A and B are shown apart, each in its own frame.
Chain A
Amino acid sequence: MSDILEFKNTLISGFAALEKSLNGQSKKAFHSVRKEALTKFEHADFPNIKNEEWRHTNISPILKHTFNPLSDASLLSSADVQKFVFGDAFKYVMVFINGKFHPELSTLDNLPEGLIVKSIAAANEENNTVVEKHLGKYALSDGQIFTALSTAYTFDGAFINVKAGKVIEDSVHILFITDSRNEKLITQPRNLFVAEKNSHASVLEHYVSLQDDVYFTNAVTEVVVEENAFFDHVKLQEESKKAFHISRMEINQKRSSNFTSHAVSLGGIISRNDVNSKFNEDGGECTLNGLFMIEGSQLSDTHTLIDHAKPHCNSHEHYKGILDDSSRGVFNGKVIVRQDAQKTNAFQQNNNILLSTDAVINTKPQLEIFADDVKCSHGATIGQLDEEAMFYLKTRGIGDDIGRGMLLHAFASDVVKSIKLQPVRDYIETILSRKFNQ
């Protein structure tokens, strides 16, 4: 109990310091949103396992720590950053260190016309109308204590705005580096991606850390995909194996828009990802794919919600998990088809492999359907590697270890192969090979 109080109080008292550091920004309209969210945070309770949405994820280990919301500027050289970027693969790179944007380490030269890439702080500073219109409008704080906290501490993060009709060939790499150095930092990146009418863009959200530190990332990302726009999102979570990662992504889709998300979760002792997509107009298309590969005592929890509020929308969801040692995985995929959302197609698939006797998986694919002219299905499997496949490989002279590696690699490939960003795909392939084909 006292842990929780301390956890909360540090964050409440830290707000005053944040206000000071905001300078002029605290006089802007958005600041009242921050204050309101802080009040909500103050009055809300942390979810416990009696809460259906947190049934299998006990967050009390997070609350045992006291996290510092304000970090001093960390000085990293471009050499430190270099090991996380994919060579020259990404033309545009945004680097955040401990939640703060570092333009000197970023590569944002020669941005094409119609692509706006800047930090939320900078956009707020110049009264960007797009930010004003969308920021904080989709990820609401009510009943969501971590979102309330994020909203209260909204300061920096990535803002990407693709103007109407622009097709951006090159992807943006957004790199969040945490350099906690035993300081137990909490970083709260707040991202906003707006793809306007008929535009096309892709983004990589990438979370890494320099050392194996204890810290807490509480990320909130809002995505708006307007009419006929196409937005491709990849999230690569490689936090330290001691870190806590809680993230929420809210996607708002307009008419005939297309949104694709791939979430690859590898790090964090406790990681929780909420991905919520809503079809606000007809004809949208949404793909949510994911892969989590965990070991040790890691816990990875993914909650997705696809809200078919309007007719003629399609959604595809495919999540895969590989669990080793005493790791625990949670997958909860909810699909709601509202009463008028006829001609909906919603397909969901969740496959998991347990590699050890101590690993646990809890999965709950959930359909809530209120319309009749729909095709919805979900499937979930949990198992181990196919013995017949192993046997086949053996008859071909391939031993247990290599055979196992090959099959696991193939298992993960389903999801990995559908990632469109080539360098990321290659990178994950390398990780897979390293892990399974020793």
Chain B
Amino acid sequence: MSSTEVKKIEELANQEYKYGFVTDIESFTLPVGLNEDIIRQLSAIKKEPEFMLEWRLKAYRHWLTMEEPHWSNVKYPAVNYQNLSYYSAPKKKPALNSLNEVDPELRATFEKLGISLEEQMRLSGVAVDAVFDSVSVATTFKEKLGELGIIFSSFSEAVRNHPELVKKYLGSVVPSTDNFYAALNSAVFSDGSFVYIPKGVRCPMELSTYFRINAANTGQFERTLIIADEGGYVSYLEGCTAPMRDENQLHAAVVELVALDNAQIKYSTVQNWYAGDKEGKGGIYNFVTKRGACRGVNSKISWTQVETGSAITWKYPSCILQGDNSIGEFYSVALTNNRQQADTGTKMIHLGKNTKSTIISKGISAGKSQNSYRGLVKIARKAENARNFSQCDSLLIGDKCGAHTFPYLEISNPSAQVEHEATTSKIGEDQLFYLNQRGISTEDAIGLVVNGYCKEVFKELPMEFAVEAQKLLSVSLEGSVG
């Protein structure tokens, strides 16, 4: 590589985080620390029914008995859970009926993020339940969805308006005792999204939420619950950007999906939180528990994720294939640059007969980053004729990064067919040479090759996201040519 190229790369690598800004809105924040009083207070602020408080306290008490897990392939300084504030809400609670009533400053933030609500309403037909630091400030298209019987609201609203649904499904996929972070989330989750698709209804639009971490020092504990009743279909998008911070922020969300007979849920994520500066200072810790249960026959859950941000990404969107003939899919692109670390993958637990799962994971590591795929394919004894195909490829850019794969295959049924493939390589020099020869700069050529490499996953994303994801990938790759 020539020295000018190196210079250019350095320039690009030093680019500031595009979405790094802090919106100055007066917020109401609970005092730092975590104890039962804080949880009671939190629950009271949110006007939750008694059962929610009980549930939170139970989770909290269990959390106290748990130890922080350390088995992952990521390194980070210890998090002091008593040093976080567990609730932060914009003080001026905007009315929800019309966008015009939303705080102008808040709306300006969304404009900066490129998710102007009006525009989205008008042009793309996407209903956005924007979560701005834990409180949902605007919910669009609600009425339209309401006509179909679809419930799409913030989690706190759902707790108040549909306690029977929440009670029935909350914690049924990710129990509050599941793991350290899930227990913490169960105790202190502030808000999130709730979706219920009634029997036989196909949700006519892509539902989407933007999570954004704003006030300094508040861990974000989102809780998402999506239920697709018999024959229902929903496609849900989740996208993230976060402002620049020097201190690490913890994000421990829980996402639960439930698909009943013949239902389908498609869950897509584009995650571009602040990854820290190029020395790895700051950045978000993204420790998320995502799990879907294919409860019914012929149900299907599909996870698609594009992970480019966060200092540490540690999550395994999983599928429990309980219903016969159910299908689980996982498509992932995880890109790490500079000192980012990612330990991500999926778990496919086959319990029902004729269940199928597909795993396509594309890891790209550049700079001094570490990228791991960790996955489990488990075929239980009774899961006749289960089928799995896994492919996890890693691409290395530069000689200071690492790519790791930890696939676990645990098979207890002889009729299972399980295939796992993994490759690791760098971008072919001949490919780059060919593109250079055609007058395409090395930087662009790498972007092109990487986008081609990720195509299998991108094609699973909804249209709007696919465009965004490709751009995001190019931005994240800038300055990584090595």
User: Is B36 part of the contact surface with A, judged by Cβ < 8 Å?
Assistant: no
Q: A382 to B417, Cβ gap below 8 A?
A: yes
User: Is A76 part of the contact surface with B, judged by Cβ < 8 Å?
Assistant: no
Residues of B within 8 A of A370 (CB): 401-402
Which A360-405 residues have a C-beta within 8 angstroms of B?
Answer: 360-384
Cα-based distance from A383 to B385 in the complex (angstroms):
10
In the complex, which of the residues A360, A363, A374 contacts B424, with contact meaning CB atoms closer than 8 Å?
A374
Q: A366 to B406, Cβ gap below 8 A?
A: yes
Q: A357 to B414, Cβ gap below 8 A?
A: yes
Residue of A nearest to B378 (CB): A362
Q: B421 to A379, Cβ gap below 8 A?
A: yes
Q: How far is the CB of B375 from chain A (nearest CB, A)?
A: 10
Residues of A within 8 A of B76 (CB): none
Residues of B within 8 A of A383 (CB): 416-419
Q: How far is the CB of A309 from chain B (nearest CB, A)?
A: 15
Cα-based distance from A291 to B397 in the complex (angstroms):
36
Q: How far is the CB of A305 from chain B (nearest CB, A)?
A: 14
Given contacts A367-B424, A369-B424, A379-B421, contact A359 B409 (CB under 8 A): no
Q: How far is the CB of A408 from chain B (nearest CB, A)?
A: 13
Given contacts A367-B424, A372-B399, contact A354 B419 (CB under 8 A): no
Q: B71 to A361, Cβ gap below 8 A?
A: no
Residues of A within 8 A of B402 (CB): 368-370
User: Is A39 part of the contact surface with B, judged by Cβ < 8 Å?
Assistant: no
User: Is A21 part of the contact surface with B, judged by Cβ < 8 Å?
Assistant: no
Q: B424 to A366, Cβ gap below 8 A?
A: no
In the complex, which of the residues A356, A359, A378, A384 contacts B405, with contact meaning CB atoms closer than 8 Å?
A378
User: Is B422 part of the contact surface with A, judged by Cβ < 8 Å?
Assistant: yes
In the complex, which of the residues B396, B408, B412, B418 contacts A374, with contact meaning CB atoms closer than 8 Å?
B396
Q: How far is the CB of A129 from chain B (nearest CB, A)?
A: 40
Q: A382 to B399, Cβ gap below 8 A?
A: no
Residues of A within 8 A of B421 (CB): 377-379
Q: Mark A325-340, 1 if CB is under 8 A from B, else 0.
A: 0000000000000011
User: Is A52 part of the contact surface with B, judged by Cβ < 8 Å?
Assistant: yes
Q: Mark A126-147, 1 if CB is under 8 A from B, else 0.
A: 0000000000000000000000
User: Is A108 part of the contact surface with B, judged by Cβ < 8 Å?
Assistant: no
In the complex, which of the residues A369, A377, A384 contacts B404, with contact meaning CB atoms closer than 8 Å?
A369
Q: How far is the CB of A389 from chain B (nearest CB, A)?
A: 14
User: Is A355 part of the contact surface with B, judged by Cβ < 8 Å?
Assistant: yes
Residue of B nearest to A367 (CB): B405
- Which of A56, A340, A374 has the most C-beta atoms of chain B within 10 angstroms of its own C-beta? A374
User: Is B437 part of the contact surface with A, judged by Cβ < 8 Å?
Assistant: no
Residues of B within 8 A of A375 (CB): 423-425
User: Is A342 part of the contact surface with B, judged by Cβ < 8 Å?
Assistant: yes
Residues of B within 8 A of A373 (CB): 399, 426
Cα-based distance from A379 to B405 in the complex (angstroms):
12
In the complex, which of the residues A361, A368, A374 contacts B411, with contact meaning CB atoms closer than 8 Å?
A361
Q: B411 to A367, Cβ gap below 8 A?
A: no
Residues of A within 8 A of B482 (CB): 372
Q: A374 to B405, Cβ gap below 8 A?
A: no
Residue of B nearest to A346 (CB): B424
Q: A367 to B426, Cβ gap below 8 A?
A: no
Cα-based distance from A357 to B403 in the complex (angstroms):
36
Q: A380 to B399, Cβ gap below 8 A?
A: no
Q: Mark A12-29, 1 if CB is under 8 A from B, else 0.
A: 000000000000000000
Residue of A nearest to B375 (CB): A364
Given contacts A359-B414, A383-B418, contact A372 B398 (CB under 8 A): yes
User: Is B400 part of the contact surface with A, judged by Cβ < 8 Å?
Assistant: yes
Count B-side interface residues using an 8 Å CB cutoff.
35
Q: How far is the CB of B89 from chain A (nearest CB, A)?
A: 42
Q: A354 to B411, Cβ gap below 8 A?
A: yes
Which B277-334 residues have a C-beta within 8 angstroms of A?
Answer: none
In the complex, which of the residues B404, B408, B411, B422 contacts A382, with contact meaning CB atoms closer than 8 Å?
B411
Residues of A within 8 A of B71 (CB): 52
User: Is B171 part of the contact surface with A, judged by Cβ < 8 Å?
Assistant: no
Q: A354 to B414, Cβ gap below 8 A?
A: yes
Q: Mark B194-211, 1 if CB is under 8 A from A, else 0.
A: 000000000000000000
Q: B426 to A378, Cβ gap below 8 A?
A: no
Residues of A within 8 A of B462 (CB): none
Q: B396 to A371, Cβ gap below 8 A?
A: yes
In the complex, which of the residues B396, B407, B413, B417 contacts A372, with contact meaning CB atoms closer than 8 Å?
B396
Q: A339 to B423, Cβ gap below 8 A?
A: no
Residues of A within 8 A of B246 (CB): none
Given contacts A372-B398, A373-B426, contact A366 B405 (CB under 8 A): yes
Which B364-401 residues have a C-beta within 8 angstroms of A?
Answer: 381, 394, 396-401
Q: How far is the CB of A365 from chain B (nearest CB, A)?
A: 6
Cα-based distance from A366 to B407 in the complex (angstroms):
6
Q: B422 to A339, Cβ gap below 8 A?
A: no
Given contacts A374-B425, A375-B425, contact A380 B407 (CB under 8 A): yes
Q: Mark B409-448, 1 if CB is under 8 A from A, else 0.
A: 1111111111111111110000000000000000000000
Cα-based distance from A369 to B417 in the complex (angstroms):
28
Residue of A nearest to B391 (CB): A379
Cα-based distance from A384 to B403 in the complex (angstroms):
31
Q: B404 to A367, Cβ gap below 8 A?
A: yes
Residues of B within 8 A of A374 (CB): 396, 424-426
Q: B425 to A379, Cβ gap below 8 A?
A: no
Residue of A nearest to B366 (CB): A372
Residue of B nearest to A360 (CB): B412
Q: B409 to A371, Cβ gap below 8 A?
A: no
Residues of B within 8 A of A368 (CB): 402, 404-405
Cα-based distance from A361 to B405 in the complex (angstroms):
19
Q: How far is the CB of A196 from chain B (nearest CB, A)?
A: 34
Q: A357 to B413, Cβ gap below 8 A?
A: yes
In the complex, which of the residues B415, B416, B425 contacts A376, with contact meaning CB atoms closer than 8 Å?
B425
Residues of A within 8 A of B405 (CB): 365-368, 378
Q: B420 to A380, Cβ gap below 8 A?
A: yes
Cα-based distance from A358 to B380 in the complex (angstroms):
11
Residues of B within 8 A of A354 (CB): 411, 413-414, 416
Q: A365 to B416, Cβ gap below 8 A?
A: no
Q: How far is the CB of A361 from chain B (nearest CB, A)?
A: 5
Cα-based distance from A182 to B417 in the complex (angstroms):
42
Q: A376 to B411, Cβ gap below 8 A?
A: no
Given contacts A374-B425, A377-B421, contact A369 B407 (CB under 8 A): no
Q: Mark B63-86, 1 if CB is under 8 A from A, else 0.
A: 000000001000000000000000
Cα-based distance from A360 to B380 in the complex (angstroms):
9
In the complex, which of the residues A356, A363, A369 contacts B394, with contact meaning CB atoms closer than 8 Å?
A369
- Which of B397, B406, B482 has the most C-beta atoms of chain A within 10 angstroms of its own C-beta? B406
Q: B418 to A380, Cβ gap below 8 A?
A: yes
Residues of B within 8 A of A358 (CB): 381
Given contacts A369-B394, A375-B425, contact A355 B419 (CB under 8 A): no
Q: Mark A299-315, 1 if CB is under 8 A from B, else 0.
A: 00000000000000000
Q: How far is the CB of B378 from chain A (nearest CB, A)?
A: 9
Q: A364 to B424, Cβ gap below 8 A?
A: no
Residues of A within 8 A of B418 (CB): 380-383
Q: How far is the CB of A310 from chain B (nearest CB, A)?
A: 14
Cα-based distance from A193 to B411 in the complex (angstroms):
37
Q: How far is the CB of A47 from chain B (nearest CB, A)?
A: 15
Which B232-278 residues have a C-beta within 8 angstroms of A?
Answer: none
Q: A362 to B411, Cβ gap below 8 A?
A: yes
A residues whose Cβ falls under 8 Å from a Cβ of B = 52, 56, 339-340, 342, 352, 354-384
For the complex of A and B, 8 pairs with smallest distance between CB atoms: A354-B414, A372-B396, A376-B424, A382-B418, A380-B420, A377-B423, A370-B402, A383-B417
Known: A367-B405, A376-B424. 5 other contacts (CB 8 A): A354-B414, A362-B410, A369-B403, A374-B425, A382-B416
Q: Can you list 29 A-B pairs with a CB-CB distance of less than 8 A?
A: A354-B414, A364-B407, A365-B405, A366-B404, A366-B406, A367-B403, A367-B424, A368-B402, A368-B405, A369-B424, A371-B396, A371-B399, A372-B426, A372-B482, A373-B399, A374-B425, A376-B422, A376-B423, A376-B424, A377-B421, A378-B405, A378-B420, A379-B419, A379-B422, A380-B409, A380-B420, A381-B418, A382-B416, A384-B414
